[in-house]
């Protein structure tokens, strides 16, 4: 019997049938009321996940496009401090360098706490922008957004936050935490197909928008098109993906945001409990003051098992889990519990991993 693949990686994640169906409807005019209403309603629901009343726009492109839009529009040629404790923190630094910003990288080992003392020093010395990844998917940890937001505000710096794998799966309070720009990707906790990013931008950031901006991802152009009576995007958007994301957001609203976050917590806790049962160490082992990711769990590959054998055996059951990235390749494996994942998927994955580890 043919089974659908079960993606238990940290995105893309399985897309519910209702959401897939929304993508297959006949083309609609992207400069018309039907599209405008779907866009506006998607924005309304996304704002509840971002914890914001700021303006929010949707960009055709993956999460990285959203990160790049944030840096290229609001941090170009400025001094940036990039907090790095994993792959995606480093990506922000690379984008900043590409746009001519002077980037100070405060690097901690992957999965270890961020250097907040260093951040305060850099802010005192006049840094204008802070970048941070809320949920560092490469290391399975959550970074302290409220503390970073407080420091950034104290020193009047902009705070750009990657919420690509936290928004929709963990509590995010953009406005309360003092985040000026936040980004999410459609294929992660929102359980929509890959290909869209949403970016929310606060007033402090609009006040400092760069004069020299990218053409395709010009946020001032997004603002102008978005302010029309029927919301639009500056250029033709990926309409089928917008319609799918709208359906995914309706499902999120039906579930309720607190219930959804609690479900993500239960699923991540279940994977960590299973790891204990398998005798596998979490990566990293955190003390009570630091937080594990609510949406992806990283674990060390035990001695005597190879990454290839572990993931290869699990895949024979139609289930895909993720390996480590960059220098953690072959050392850790990761299980994503994002989007629509529930107990049934966790049970199947746990059984397959246990079998693979005992083999
Ligand atoms: N930020 C984080 C935290 C991620 O986990 C990812 C992808 O895994 C990205 C950014 C990049 O997103 P994309 O691959 O959608 O460009």
pLDDT in tens, 169-203: 999 999 999 999 999 999 999 999 999 999 999 99
Spans of the chain below 70 pLDDT: 1-2
Cα 272 to middle of ligand 1, angstroms:
22
Interface pTM, i.e. ipTM: 0.99
The Å distance, Cα 230 to ligand 1 centre, comes to: 30
DSSP 179-245: -SEEEEETTSTT---SSEEEEEE-HHHHHT--SS--STT-HHHHHHHHTSSS---SS---HHHHHHH
Can you give the pLDDT at residue 290? 83
How many whole angstroms from 64 Cα to the centroid of ligand 1?
6
Query: Nearest Cα to 230, choosing from 27, 53, 55, 41?
Result: 41
| Contact criterion met (CB below 8 Å) for 130 and 282 | no
- Short-list 16, 62, 25, 39, CA closest to 251: 16
136 Cα: distance to centroid of ligand 1 (angstroms): 9
Determine the atom of ligand 1 nearest the C-alpha atom of 65. Answer: 16
pTM of the model: 0.98
Distance from residue 358's CA to the centre of ligand 1 (Å): 32
For residue 187, give the ligand 1 atom closest to its CA. 15
Pocket test for ligand 1, best of 185, 193, 324 (most atoms within 8 A of CB): 185
Q: What pLDDT, in 10s, does the model give residues 92-119?
A: 999 999 999 999 999 999 999 999 999 9
- Nearest-atom number in ligand 1 for the CA of 10 is 8
What is the distance in A from the centroid of ligand 1 to the CA of 88? 7
The ligand 1 atom at the shortest distance from the C-alpha of residue 162 is 1
pLDDT value, residue 267: 97
What distance in Å separates the CA atoms of residue 187 and residue 88, rounded to the nearest whole number?
Answer: 16
Pocket of ligand 1 (CB under 6 A): 10-11, 62-64, 88, 133, 135, 137, 162, 164-165, 185
pLDDT in tens, 288-325: 778 999 999 999 999 999 999 999 999 999 999 999 99
pLDDT for residue 287: 84
């Amino acid at each position: 019997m043919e089974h659908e693949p079960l993606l238990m990686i940290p995105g893309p994640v399985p897309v519910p049938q209702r959401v897939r169906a929304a993508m297959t409807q006949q083309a609609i005019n992207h400069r018309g009321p039907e599209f405008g209403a779907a866009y506006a309603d998607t924005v309304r629901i996304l704002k509840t996940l971002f914890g914001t009343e700021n303006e929010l726009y949707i960009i055709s492109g993956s999460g990285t496009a959203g990160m790049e839009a944030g840096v290229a529009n609001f941090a170009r040629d400025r001094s940036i401090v990039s907090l790095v404790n994993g792959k995606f923190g480093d990506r922000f630094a690379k984008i900043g360098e590409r746009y001519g910003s002077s980037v100070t990288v405060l690097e901690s080992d992957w999965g270890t706490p961020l250097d907040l003392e260093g951040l305060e020093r850099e802010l005192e010395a006049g840094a204008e922008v802070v970048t941070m990844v809320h949920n560092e998917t490469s290391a399975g940890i959550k970074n302290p957004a409220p503390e970073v937001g407080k420091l950034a505000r104290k020193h009047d710096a902009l705070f750009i936050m990657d919420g690509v794998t936290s928004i929709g799966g963990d509590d995010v309070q953009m406005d309360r935490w003092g985040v000026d720009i936040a980004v999410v990707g459609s294929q992660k906790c929102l359980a929509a197909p890959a290909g869209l990013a949403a970016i929310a931008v606060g007033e402090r950031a609009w006040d400092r928008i760069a004069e020299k901006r990218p053409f395709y991802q010009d946020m001032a152009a997004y603002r102008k098109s978005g302010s029309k009576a029927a919301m639009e995007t500056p250029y033709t958007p990926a309409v089928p993906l917008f319609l799918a994301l709208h359906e995914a957001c309706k499902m999120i609203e039906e579930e309720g945001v607190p219930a959804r976050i609690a479900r993500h917590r239960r699923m991540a806790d279940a994977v960590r409990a299973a790891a204990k049962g398998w005798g596998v160490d979490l990566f990293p082992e955190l003390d009570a003051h630091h937080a594990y990711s609510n949406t992806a769990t990283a674990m060390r590959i035990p001695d005597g098992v190879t990454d290839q054998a572990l993931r290869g055996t699990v895949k024979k059951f139609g289930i895909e889990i993720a390996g480590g990235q960059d220098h953690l390749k072959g050392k850790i494996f990761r299980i994503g519990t994002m989007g629509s994942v529930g107990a049934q998927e966790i049970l199947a994955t746990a059984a397959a991993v246990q079998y693979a580890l005992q083999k």
